[in-house]
Structure 1
């Protein structure tokens, strides 16, 4: 399925997941991708990723299914009114040189795949992120993974095709601007929310 589908990531979703990783540079972080499937009559289907919801930065929380289930329920309930659903997952490894998709990302991806068969997993490239925040690159700082017919998660685009695009070409410039103003300090994930429920996991006003 993944080869027949393209994935378009909005500026809001992209910047938010990048800021989440920048807030916790020594930790693995993850989150949910929210969007919708756009079926084109004469073209490939497109998964439009509209937003990202930061989940965790505490290592012991990442694999916990109850935490994931609670987050999924809250996110699905909130975004359903907008016609959006959970369409994928993002992950950033703790070590800057680690470019391997970890088992926890595959497991969460499998879980989302059960309800959304076009699910995407985005793995953040820490080295590309460093270049982007310096204003030196317009390349996406995430790598797309999709699940193939053998139920394995495969890196997309290795055949030269471009399945992943940023909706706004200037997104990395906007990210760099937000880093300059230290917006990453304001990111709230579910770990933060569970520690202090006054902190809003929806991050209203973060990218204003």
Structure 2
């Protein structure tokens, strides 16, 4: 079985945009989310994402376990598995991979050894407006049997968006302040009528 150190990661435009909008919706908080997809040869295809938490619950085990079970049950019927984890730090200038992010990503890795850990890079996000860079605005971390997550120095080659214009579309969503429409699992636990699947976000 191949490890994360050998795989490439391709993320669908909507999965990518949804997680970034989630982070923008809670600029004063750390946020996180799960990546859904499948392994196809040496490529991990990330086809969907689920925003998880934005509050003090972000590192708590009981709500996380509820979310993992619910999400896994829903997407397994579509042939998708949890293939990674997304995290955005509370501070705009913080690019450190913290304990909470590592612990949750470790949990995902136990079930999917090719798991990706994506950390939002706010500097890259801020620069998009000016340079229209095609690379994802996040840092890629992977791990192997060493049990430590390492930043991929060639992350721009190993992590790509499926659609080259994803960042341009992202800027359109940002200009429309679509982050206000994102619902995460935190919101759903507070009010179960809120759609954690965000079915209408891209309509």
| TM-score calculated relative to the size of structure 1 | 0.92
User: Residue 150 and residue 206 in structure 1: after superposition, are their counterparts in 2 closer, same or farther (change >3 A)?
Assistant: same
Q: Which protein is richer in helix relative to its size?
A: 2
Unaligned stretches of 5+ residues in structure 1: 40-44
What are the within-5 Å matches in structure 2 for residues 20-169 of structure 1? Answer: 20-39=22-41, 45-58=42-55, 60-132=56-128, 136-156=132-152, 158=153, 162-169=157-164
Give the 4+ runs in structure 1 shifted more than 4 A: none
Q: Secondary structure at the match of 1:162?
A: helix
Q: Secondary structure at the match of 1:72?
A: helix
1:66 deviates by 1.3
1:63 deviates by 1.1
Q: Secondary structure at the match of 2:157?
A: coil
Partners of 1:169 and 1:161 in 2: CA distance: 13
1:132 deviates by 2.4
Q: Secondary structure at the match of 2:84?
A: strand
| TM-score calculated relative to the size of structure 2 | 0.94
Is 1:192 aligned to residue 194 of structure 2? no
Aligned partners of 2:139 and 2:155 also within 8 Å = no
Aligned-residue Cα RMSD (Å) equals 1.5
Unaligned stretches of 5+ residues in structure 2: none
Aligned partners of 2:25 and 2:179 also within 8 Å = yes
Partners of 2:45 and 2:131 in 1: CA distance: 25
1:35 deviates by 0.4
